[in-house]
Amino acid sequence: MAYRGTHLDDDLIRSWPKADADRKLRRPDTRENIEAGLRGRGNIRENFIRAGDLWVPRAAARDPALVAWGAAEHPRGLAYDLDALTRVRMALIRRPDWIAHSWSAARLWGMPYFCDDADTCVLSGGRRRAATTPQEVSRFRKEGTLAAVTPRWRVDSEMPELQVTPPVLTVIHCLRSLRAGDHAWRVVPGTGLDVKRVRAVQFIDAFCALSGCDPLRLVAACGDHYPRRDLAGIAALADRGAESPMETVMRLQVRRMFGEGFISQLVIRRDGTVADPVHTTDATGRGVVARVDLGSPTLKLALQYDGSGHLDRRRRDTDSRISAALANLGRHVLRLTYGHLRDPDLLERTIAAGIALCRRRGSGDYRTR
Q: Domain-by-domain residue ranges, the chain?
A: 6-18+59-237, 245-363
pLDDT at 286: 80
C-alpha to C-alpha distance for 57 and 49, rounded to whole angstroms: 6
Nearest to 3 by CA among 216, 239, 165, 153: 165
What integer pLDDT is reported at residue 369 of this predicted model? Answer: 36
What pLDDT is stored for residue 100 in this prediction?
93
Q: Give the predicted TM-score (pTM) of the model.
A: 0.93
Identify the CATH number of the domain defined by range 245-363: 3.40.960
Residues 46, 151: Cα–Cα separation, whole Å: 36
At 277-318, the pLDDT tens digits run 999 888 777 889 999 999 999 999 999 999 876 667 777 888
CA distance 184 to 194: 13
pLDDT of 341 reads 97
pLDDT of residue 364: 62
- Under-70 pLDDT residues of the chain: 18-24, 40, 144-147, 151-153, 309-311, 364-369
**pLDDT recorded at residue 145:** 65
Contact (Cβ atoms closer than 8 angstroms) between residue 234 and residue 242: no
Q: What is the pLDDT of residue 368?
A: 38
